[in-house]
Amino acid sequence: MRLEHNLIYIKDVVLGDVNKVEDGVLTVDVEGLKAAVMTDDKVKDVKVDLAKPGERTRIVPVKDVIEPRFRVGRTNGFPGVTTKYEQAGDGVVNILKGAAIVTIGDMVGFQEGVIDMWGEGALWTPFSKTFNIVVDITPIDGLDPHQHEVVVRLAGLRASTFVGLAAENAAIDETKVYEIGTMAEEEAKYPDLPKVLYVQMNIAQGLLHDTFFYGVDLKEIIPTWFHPFEELDNAVISGNCVAACDKITTYQHQNNALTYDLYEQHGKTINFIGNIFSPELTTLDGKFRNCDYCAKLCHQLGANGVIVSEEGYGNPDSDLVMICSRLEKRGIKTALVTDECSGWDGTSQPLTDTAPEAVAVVSSGNVSKVIDLEPADKVLGNIKSAQTLAGGWDGCVAEDGSLKVELNAVIGATSEIGYHNASVKLY
């Protein structure tokens, strides 16, 4: 497979009446964007705002983040979801690099997910560095949370595709070519390099807790081997609304950091032989089956090493250590990426579900770390949600209006696919 990412670097964004990029400045056709979102008759209203790095702007509650793109010469959108199914991973994509669609929609009152564009909050989310086109979607009355989630999920995808039209004829700043042949071809090229797989665990549990591959609900599959480029070409989307700090947003699927970094080593130090989804189910039997199956697939494909990334906190911790010990017992070396809960003061035992085999673990941060969010000049979304973010303990709202929140509430803060640079150090 050969995938080309044509990058168009975005240095600023303005609202206007046409989609275009000139000298790195992205203009968004506001009315066109609204119309694209409103094509669903379940959308009652849509508001569009901008949030730029450094501005004292807070976005809350964030539903999803999506990268605006144009798929050249192919169906333009998300195969199997917003367009007809089409094989992804082979072809050319023009990308508005540095821009992001951020959707807002509160399906349930306790929803978290904050992006601060400045100050301490900005340090803890990767999406404070992107030029964000914030799309606030209000559905018609009477929808249950299921329907509401679907409406906002799809609206965000359509919005990203609409804005992505600006990439169709924009000047390309850089082209990145990704190419991996069949197993046999790569093996012949790199007979001495260790074979490495990437196991991506995904929350697949129901309302507000889903992930889709070509539109297929991951709850309904057993672990599947897929080509890393499919994910980099819009085949995977997020249906997750909780787990703000450690869910994988659609943007992070489109730009899976582990896939990028593994590809970087392909042909040099490793032979990167693909990705596997391992859905995180709710029942123990389901977990046993998927963890076993996942380890079996890795073994069958002849992997020497595997990186496993988690999504979420709580019951997925069980899957993570089960997959790890099953792989290690088969003689396959692992490195895990997970976040931890070591308490406010960092003195709690970080991992609860432990296995002696989990010897190589990257910690993507402590979900209970408390950070201070200064008062914002502008809140995009729902001010009440901003209060919900904190509100969980005594003294979390200071007199000057600043909030104390746990990293839990911050989008992408402790990304378990390693999309952020948080870590934990022992003192």
Partner 1 sequence: MTKKVLFYLNQFFGGIGGEDKADYEPSFQTELVGPPTGIMPKAGDVESVGLIICGDNFFGQNEDETKAFIAKVIDETQPDIFVAGPAFNAGRYGFACAGACKVAHEAGVTCVSGMYEENPGLEHCQSFAWVAQTANAAAQMRKALPIMANLISKLAAGEEVTPEADKYFAQGRRECILVDELGSTRAVKMLLARLNDEPFETELPMPSFDVVEPAAPILDLSKATIALATSGGIVPNGNPDRLQSASAQQWNKYDISEYDQLKGDFYTVHGGFDPVYCNETADRVLPLDALRDMQKQGKIGKVYDFFYATTGTGTAVANARKFGEEIGKELKEAGVDGVLLTST
Partner 2 sequence: MVFVEGTFRDVLIKVRDMVHTGYELISHPLFASSRMMFSPYRTVVLGSKRDVSPQIECQIIEDSIISYDKLTARRNPQPEHNGDYAKVDLSLYEATLEEISMLRSSHTV
Residues of this chain that bind partner 2 (CB under 8 A): 108-112, 144-146, 203, 205-209, 219-220, 240, 242-247, 280-287, 289, 311-318, 341-344, 348-349, 352-353, 367-368, 388, 391-394, 408-409
> By CB under 8 A, is residue 171 in contact with partner 1?
no
Q: Does 129 bind partner 1 (CB under 8 A)?
A: no
Give the shortest CB-282-to-partner 1 separation in angstroms.
25
Shortest distance, position 151 Cβ to partner 2, whole Å? 16
Site string for partner 1, 247-286 (x = CB under 8 A): ----------xx-xxx-xx---xx----------------
- d(CA 35, CA 13) in angstroms, rounded, equals 19
- Contact between 334 and 80 under an 8 Å Cβ cutoff? The reply is no
Q: Does 419 bind partner 1 (CB under 8 A)?
A: yes
For residue 94, give the nearest of 164, 160, 11 by alpha carbon. 164
Nearer to partner 1, 49 or 339 (CB): 339
Which of the listed partners (partner 1, partner 2, none) does 242 bind, with a CB threshold of 5 to 8 Å by partner kind? partner 2
**Could you tell which of partner 2, partner 1, none binds residue 305, using a CB distance below 5 to 8 A set by kind?**
partner 1
Among 101, 358, 380, 409, binds partner 1 (CB under 8 A): 358
Is 241 part of the annotated catalytic residue set?
yes
CA within 13 Å, CB half, 145: 15
Binding residue for partner 1 (CB under 8 A) from 99, 137, 236, 361?
Answer: 361
Give residue 244's region: left, alpha or beta (phi > 0; psi -120 to 50).
alpha
Closer of 164 and 316 to partner 2 (Cβ):
316
377 binds partner 1 (CB under 8 A): no
Whole-angstrom Cα distance, residue 140 to residue 44?
5
Indicate the SS3 state at residue 306. strand
CA-CA distances (angstroms) from residue 354 to 70, 291, 346, 360, 367?
43, 15, 18, 12, 18
Instruction: Say how many residues make up the chain.
Output: 427
Tell me how far apart the alpha carbons of residues 108 and 118 are, in angstroms, rounded to a whole number. 27
Give the DSSP H/E element, type plus range, for residue 178: strand 174-179
Site map 19..58 versus partner 1, x via CB under 8 A: ----------------------------------------
The answer to whether 263 touches 272, Cβ cutoff 8 Å, is: yes
Site string for partner 1, 94-123 (x = CB under 8 A): -----------------------------x
Which residues in 17-98 belong to E strands, given as ranges? 20-22, 25-29, 43-51, 57-60, 62-66, 69-72, 91-97
Q: Can you say whether residue 83 is alpha, beta or left, with left for phi > 0 and alpha for psi between -120 and 50 degrees?
A: beta
Q: Is residue 334 involved in binding partner 1 (CB under 8 A)?
A: yes
Task: Please give the positions annotated as active site.
Answer: 241
Interface residues with partner 1 (CB under 8 A) are: 123-124, 194, 196, 257-258, 260-262, 264-265, 269-270, 304-307, 309, 333-338, 340, 342, 345-347, 349-351, 354, 356, 358-366, 369, 407, 415-427
